[in-house]
Structure 1
Amino acid sequence: MVKILIVDDNLFMRTMIKTFVSDAGFEISAMAVDGYQGVYEYTQNRPDIVLLDILMPKMDGIMALKTLIAYDPHARILMVSAIQSVKMIKLAITCGAKGYVLKPFQREQLIQEINRVLELNL
């Protein structure tokens, strides 16, 4: 079963994403409230994919992304953010993100993008 790590500081968003991905048959390996915790959970659980917010306290998503890619260059990281800036999207992709989903999103959109990232040959 595909394991997913959800990293988002917003409880409502974490819960919504958890429901969407669980209903689609994915397993939640862990959830984290900031980038530091997300990096820790990744090293402990080695999920198949990380759903990573950008704006978070302590360590933001871009720094967490860079840290995760340095730790595991084959990490499958999907940014899930409300930031609609083309510059931010390009930065995330350049830093190693395999995709970017804008909040708010539809369940089907999120699941489709997760499946696309999982199919990548890394």
Structure 2
Amino acid sequence: MAGDKPTFVVIDDDSVLRSLIRGILTDAGLEFAGSAVNGEEGLKLCQDKLPDLVLLDINLPGSDGINVLASLAKMRRVPRVVMVSGEATLPRVKSSISLGASGFVVKPFTAAKLIGVTEQALGRKLA
């Protein structure tokens, strides 16, 4: 991980949720590297910033989160990915995990749940 603070990117089309996730995780000691509203922007951002962690919505305009997850897995430096979705059907969760997702957070979520899944994905306790 780059430096002392792990970096993260949020890819979600909901601006309120992007802001909420950013606030929770920066308060927990992670460094915000950027956000995107769709899969294409998100992939470009991840290629540019090489974050340690990506919080990724499944339902995105354009390329959905499952396709973005598959593309992230092919990057030269693969980030940990936590899927964030209101659509937590068993097939979606299984598909996400099989493509390399490190965790899954169901919307709506609590700050404690998001931090817990993030800690598990990164393999370390946060502040």
Q: Same fold (TM over 0.5)?
A: yes
> 1:35 & 1:41 partners in 2: Cα distance?
10
Equivalent AA in structure 2 for residue 108 of structure 1: A
Q: TM-score, normalised by structure 2?
A: 0.90
Shift of 1:50: 0.3
Alignment of 1:1-122 (within 5 A): 1-72=5-76, 74-119=78-123
> 1:2 & 1:70 partners in 2: Cα distance?
20
3-state SS of the aligned residue for 1:36? helix
The two structures, once aligned, show a CA RMSD in angstroms of 1.3
* Structure 1 residues 73 and 25, CA gap change in structure 2 (3 angstroms): closer
Maintained 8 Å contact 2:80/2:101: yes
> 1:28 & 1:20 partners in 2: Cα distance?
11
Maintained 8 Å contact 2:50/2:77: no
Q: TM-score, normalised by structure 1?
A: 0.93
3-state SS of the aligned residue for 2:92? helix
> 1:29 & 1:75 partners in 2: Cα distance?
13
3-state SS of the aligned residue for 1:71? coil
In the alignment of these two chains, the number of paired residues is 120
> 1:92 & 1:32 partners in 2: Cα distance?
19
Gaps of 5+ in 2: none
Q: Percent identity?
A: 34
Moved over 3 A (4+): none
Decide which structure has greater helix share. Answer: 1
3-state SS of the aligned residue for 1:79? strand
Equivalent AA in structure 1 for residue 110 of structure 2: Q
3-state SS of the aligned residue for 1:70? coil
Gaps of 5+ in 1: none
